[in-house]
Amino acid sequence: MSRSAEQTRRRILETAYELFYRRGFTRVAVNDIAERAGITKRTLYYHFDSKDELLRAVLDFHHDLALERIRRWSTRLPTNLDAMLDALFSDLASWAARPRWAGAGFTRLVMELADLPGHPARAIARRHKAAIENWLAGELASRGTPDATEKARQLVLLLEGCISLLLIHGSKKYADAAATAARRLVAS
How far is the CA of 165 from the CAs of 22, 136, 162, 180, in angstroms? 18, 21, 5, 15
Report, as an integer, the average pLDDT of 1-12: 87
**C-alpha R_g of the chain:** 18
Residue 112 pLDDT class (50, 70, 90 cuts): confident
Residue 116 pLDDT class (50, 70, 90 cuts): confident
Helix (H, G, I), strand (E, B) or coil at 125: helix
- Identify the pLDDT of residue 1: 61
Mind listing the pLDDT tens digit for each residue in 135-150? 999 999 999 999 999 9
Closest CA to 38 of 7, 60, 61, 62: 7
Measured distance CA(120)–CA(162) in Å, rounded? 26
Residues near 10 by beta carbon (within 8 Å), at least 6 away in sequence? none
Residue 73 pLDDT class (50, 70, 90 cuts): very high
Residue 169 has pLDDT above 80, yes or no: yes
- 172 phi/psi in degrees, rounded to 5: -60, -20
Measured distance CA(16)–CA(51) in Å, rounded? 10
Report, as an integer, the average pLDDT of 64-79: 92
pTM value is 0.84
Mind listing the pLDDT tens digit for each residue in 12-38? 999 999 999 888 888 999 999 999 999
* Chain mean pLDDT for the chain: 92
- Inter-helix orientation angle 51-74/30-37, to 10°: 60
